[in-house]
Amino acid sequence: MPVVTVDDPREAFRFFDPDGSGRIGTEDLQAALARLGLSVSESEVTSKLRKRNYEVAGVLWRAFNLQQFELLVADVRVFVNEREAFRFFDRDGKGRVAVVDLRPALARLGLNASEADMASVLRNASWRNYETAGTAGLDIQQFYLLVADVRALLDVHQVFRFFHQDRSGRIDLNELRPALVRLGLDASDYEIAGILRNYETAGTAGLDIQQFERLVIDVRAFVAKKLP
């Protein structure tokens, strides 16, 4: 018998919360997502829960409230859309998306990346092993990584535009820390100044978009090293 699907996460949540406790068990999450038309495996659900840090000492929580469920639904919807975009452009069913189809696949996800954006991502994230794909294209795991990297790059561009409202093509040095904080990167003025010592062309006029992209990459690496 086919599963009756609904659009509203609250309806799916209430179906699996018959006693009105305001919580549904971990064992019901996959079925609740299926009720929303979201077909994912148990391991994929677990992966999304861990990314939200819904665990203690490596053990997943046993129950979730409506807000937590809605966040999970949002994450899974993004994942399913990415998976479907990959499948659509995996034209021969061999498990790869050709390089020429990467931008159309990203556009299908609402990510309008230019050729320059793509080149920047592939160049600055070579540790992802994108270069090993060659002309055969990317497999699905590489595609997921590419989507994440492109999303991050487009976020950088959006923040850059926000902070260079004078349209000078540069972001002032005194605006760098607020711009980085907006991207979720918490580095002190002293730490940023230390990184900027390697930016010979920055001067006092600020950073252009390419320099700002590089700064974000450098600060992300620096912040990652500070984590315990």
- Structural domain of 213: 164-226
User: Residue 217 maps to which CATH number?
Assistant: 1.10.238
Strands (E), the chain: 24-25, 55-56, 59-60, 63-64
9, burial (CB in 10 Å: exposed 0-12, middle 13-18, buried 19+): buried
- Secondary structure letter of residue 94 according to DSSP: S
On whether residue 168 sits in a domain, the answer given is yes
Question: Looking at the domain assignment, is residue 211 inside a domain?
Answer: yes
- Name the domain count of the chain: 2
- Distance from C-alpha of 66 to C-alpha of 123, rounded to nearest angstrom: 41
- Is 129 inside a domain boundary? no
* 106 in a structural domain: no
At 113-164, the pLDDT tens digits run 888 888 878 776 654 666 555 557 889 998 999 999 899 999 999 999 888 7
Each residue's pLDDT tens digit, 75-101? 999 999 999 999 999 999 989 998 889
Kindly tell me if the per-residue pLDDT of 222 is higher than 80. yes
Of 81, 100, 116, the last residue of a domain is: 81
Q: What is the pLDDT of residue 55?
A: 85
Residue 89 included in any domain: no
How many angstroms separate the CA atoms of 132 and 126, rounded?
9
Task: Yes or no: say if 88 and 105 are a contact pair by the CB < 8 Å rule.
Answer: yes
Q: What is the CATH number of the domain that holds 47?
A: 1.10.238.10
pLDDT tens profile 1-52: 556 688 999 999 999 999 999 999 999 999 999 999 999 999 999 999 998 8
Q: Which of 28, 56, 81 is the last residue of a domain?
A: 81
Report yes or no on 113 lying in a domain: no
| Residue where a domain terminates, one of 65, 81, 97 | 81
